[in-house]
Structure 1
Amino acid sequence: MSEARTEVNETNGLEDVEMNVKLKLAGLWTSFMFLYVYVDIFGFYKPGTIEDILIGEVFTFQITPTFVLVALVFVTIPGLMIFLSLALPARVNRWTNIVVAILYVPFTLYNLVGESWSYMYFGAGIETVLLAIVIWYAWKWPRTTGSSSDSETGSTTALT
């Protein structure tokens, strides 16, 4: 892996370190995860929500083992993306981030169906922006300056 480039801002003397794209993606997925979970947690404050859960309903769905498994899968995937963004080789990493983020945009927006509470729109809006930034960073993944074998190994050396 290449060394991070640093620049010193002449007006304030602060060092600005260029961050590796893998760290940016992991940070974006972490932010997405926090919002994703907290939007659901804040949903418990809506009147009637806990009562519905106690009788086995969420929105229009019955709470079943399958429902809970599907919900866990939908939360697990972005959680794993934090690690995978750091661990996968560049080529696989790039496409995994693009595909997963694209798939989560409609799912995030679907959660707004029938919603009247503004916090849900705010949360979904920020989540969608974060997913768009994931797609952008993954799409603009820096290219290597070396031989083709560098790109096969997942090197992320940026062109200077």
Structure 2
Amino acid sequence: MRTRQPTITLDDQPIPVRAKLAAAWTSLMFLYAYVDILNFFTPGVVDDILAGRVFEFALSQTFSTTALALMAIPILMVVLSMTLPARVNRITNLVVASLYVPVTAFNAVGESWLYFYGLGIALELILLALILRYAWTWPRTASSATMVTSPDRDTVRAPQQA
């Protein structure tokens, strides 16, 4: 006769919002980088770069500095998502992710490989949507300065003045 073994489930620990945001920004940057790297295999791209052009832009120090600044912001969001105070963190993530939705969509303009860029852009937009959702739904707790829980934890009362 077989004895029944207890069912053991994996402990599914909650992930802090800060970690979710940092992971989403990291994933976004990997996607940006990988799409750019794979783009080098698109016929004519390397020839255009060697001729001093990227898309419709002339390669210059200004172009490279602008591109670096544009990508430095989401790169820095990885560390900022882990270190900024909650209120500032939430607002910063909402603003930056909102601004990067049109930046990401702009990458489709003029591209001939729509399946490749479409997939990359769709995945990037999904990550930006996740960032917006995580930041928007950031869990809230009652401030200990405004609420005091009674010892039985069933009632909440205002703090007493000294």
Equivalent in 93, 98, 104 of residue 97 of structure 1? 93
Tell me, yes or no, if structure 1 residue 108 matches structure 2 residue 120: no
Percent identity over the alignment?
Answer: 53
Equivalent in 56, 65, 70 of residue 61 of structure 2? 65
Tell me, yes or no, if structure 1 residue 123 matches structure 2 residue 100: no
Report deviation, 1:75.
1.3
Give RMSD over aligned pairs: 1.4
> Equivalent residue for 1:80?
76
Instruction: Tell which structure's C-alpha radius of gyration is larger.
Output: 2
Provide closer, same or farther for how the CA distance between residues 86 and 42 of structure 1 changes in structure 2, counting only shifts above 3 A.
same
Deviations 1:129-150 (A, max 9, x none): 100110011011111233358x
> Equivalent residue for 2:21?
25
> Equivalent residue for 1:49?
45
Q: Flag structure 1 segments of 5+ consecutive residues without an equivalent.
A: 1-9, 150-160
Q: Flag structure 2 segments of 5+ consecutive residues without an equivalent.
A: 1-5, 147-162
Report deviation, 1:115.
1.5
Provide closer, same or farther for how the CA distance between residues 32 and 12 of structure 1 changes in structure 2, counting only shifts above 3 A.
farther
Tell me, yes or no, if structure 1 residue 138 matches structure 2 residue 135: yes
Deviations 1:19-71 (A, max 9, x none): 11000000000100100111111110011111111111001100010000000
Report deviation, 1:114.
1.4
**Distance in 2 between residues matched to 1:148 and 1:75, nearest whole Å:** 40
Task: Give me the TM-score of the superposition, normalised by structure 2.
Answer: 0.83
Report deviation, 1:103.
0.5
**Distance in 2 between residues matched to 1:83 and 1:111, nearest whole Å:** 25
2:120 maps to amino acid: G
1:108 maps to amino acid: T
Greater shift, 139-148 or 86-95, is seen at: 139-148
Which segments of structure 1 move beyond 2 Å, counting only runs of 4 or more?
A: 145-149
Aligned length: 140
**Distance in 1 between residues matched to 2:144 and 2:69, nearest whole Å:** 39
Deviations 1:90-148 (A, max 9, x none): 00000100000000000100010111211110010000010011001101111123335
